Structure formats: structure tokens, C-alpha cells
Amino acid sequence: MNDVTNIAKTTAIEPSLGRAFMAMLGRDLTLAYRHRAQLANPLVFFTIVVSLFPLGLNPDPDLLRTIAPGVIWVAALLAAMLSLDSIFRSDFDDGTLEQILLSPHPLSLLVLAKTLAHWLITGLPLLLLAPVLGGLLDMSGEALGVLMITGALGTPILSLIGSIGVALTVGLRSGGGGVLLSLLVLPLYIPVLIFAANAVGNAAGGFEVTGQLAILGSLLALSVGLAPLAAAAALRISLN
């Protein structure tokens, strides 16, 4: 068979994985930019949920400081989940996803590019907004610093785990997909919530946080390595 491939090289330009990865990332960012209004959705949700707590509870600074880590992380988690469906939905609906599956590149790396785009669009803005809302709840400077670190480690995990859930549910006819997605993804989000909120709480109390950060870091490494593979396999099943 060698002769076939050799000849092909002289008459065609072979696909390059780096170029495909960057093109995929750039395409998703362009599409997001053309739907700017949708981008604001999770951010508005995040802001509203966090700012409702002082109104519903007692605006006592001591109380707010105590609940702040949990409130911010729960709101971030729900906001991230709201935005998950957009990773594959429009590509599935217009047939582009079929074309992505039929490209000669490893599907998992193209999925990783799409997930990275999703994090840049939703996770990163949440991360940047978090300290502002933390200040609103009277968090100390120390705790805000740790909140940023847990956000940087934790929000990519939310996008990566979410990509598996969306890949599994994207093929379902409208209606059941959203509920199923929450049921699939939320249990996997809980370790992130526990360790991240705990680290921020500890930092506010002046305790050690390296243990929690190490666990978040290893969860991130694990999900970067495995989530794209699982999501790619799930997509092949969904399009079957």
C-alpha cells in the first residue's frame, strides 16, 4: 500500500493536526463572538444568584463572609452547567459534527479544542467575575486569592466533564436531554465543589490549603487527559 500514500503526498497537502486544532478553536471563538448576547447568559445568572443571597438572608458581614465560598462556587457550577449544551448543539443540528467526525484527525483532540473554546468563553469570564462578587460578600484578600486559584483549576474541569455529558446527550430528541445532562454531570462536579469551597473557606480562616489545591490540580490533569477521549467515544455513539 505504500505506493498509494507516497503518490498522495506529491499531489495533495497532508492534513496538519496543529492547524486543525487552531482552526477549530478559532472557529468556535468566532461563532461565540457572533452570538455575543448568549455569552452574557451564564455571567448574568452567576451575578444574580450571588447578589440575591444578601437580600434573602441577613446582610450581616460575618454571615456573608462565612457563606461566600460555598455560594460563589455553587453559583459558578450552575452557571457553567447552563452553558454546556452549546458545546456541540449547533454543530449537531446543522451537520457540521458529522464532518468533524469524518476528519482524518484524532477526534479527541478536536473535542479538546472545542472544550478549550468553551472554557475561554464561559469559564474564564466566570473566573474573572468571581473576585468582584467575593468583594461584595466581604471576603478577605487572602480568601479572594485562593478563590482565583481554585477557579483557575476548577472551571476547566467543569467544561471538560461537561463535554462528556453533552456528547452523550446531544443526540437525544429535545426535552429529555437537559434533565439527563444535569443528572449525569452534577455528581461528577461535586468533588470540585467540595475541595474548592473548602480551600477558600480554609484560606479565610487562615488555615493551610495546599492539600485541596493539589487534589484540584490532579483532578484537572486527570480530566484533561481522559475527558476528551470519553467525549469523542460518546460522540461516535450519539451520531450512530
- The single residue listed with the C-alpha cell 469523542 is 232
The one-letter code for the residue type at 161 is I
Choice between 110 and 196, CB closer to another protein: 110
Among 106, 145, 178, 191, binds another protein (CB under 8 A): 106
Q: Does 174 bind another protein (CB under 8 A)?
A: no
In the complex, minimum distance from the CB of residue 229 to another protein, in angstroms, rounded to a whole number: 15
Q: Does 35 bind another protein (CB under 8 A)?
A: yes
CA atoms within 13 A on the CB side of 155: 28
In the complex, minimum distance from the CB of residue 145 to another protein, in angstroms, rounded to a whole number: 39
Choice between 210 and 240, CB closer to another protein: 240
Among 39, 43, 67, 101, binds another protein (CB under 8 A): 101
How far is 161 from 152, CA to CA, in rounded Å? Answer: 15
Q: How many CB atoms lie within 10 A of CB 21?
A: 17
Burial class (CB in 10 A: 0-12, 13-18, 19+), 239: middle
Q: Are 82 and 45 in contact (CB under 8 A)?
A: yes
Which has the closest alpha carbon to 73: 133, 162, 138?
133
Among 38, 51, 58, 99, binds another protein (CB under 8 A): 99
Q: Does 30 bind another protein (CB under 8 A)?
A: yes
Q: Does 141 bind another protein (CB under 8 A)?
A: no
Q: How many CB atoms lie within 10 A of CB 12?
A: 8
Classified as helix, coil or strand, 152 is helix
Choice between 34 and 173, CB closer to another protein: 34
Return the DSSP state at 120.
I
Among 94, 176, 179, 222, binds another protein (CB under 8 A): 94
Q: Are 65 and 137 in contact (CB under 8 A)?
A: yes
Among 55, 56, 95, 174, binds another protein (CB under 8 A): 95
- Judged by CB under 8 A, which stretch of 39-47, 56-64, 97-105, 171-179 contacts another protein? 97-105
Q: How many CB atoms lie within 10 A of CB 13?
A: 6
Residues that bind another protein (CB under 8 A): 1, 3-5, 7-8, 10-15, 19-20, 22-24, 27, 30-31, 34-35, 90, 93-96, 98-106, 239-240
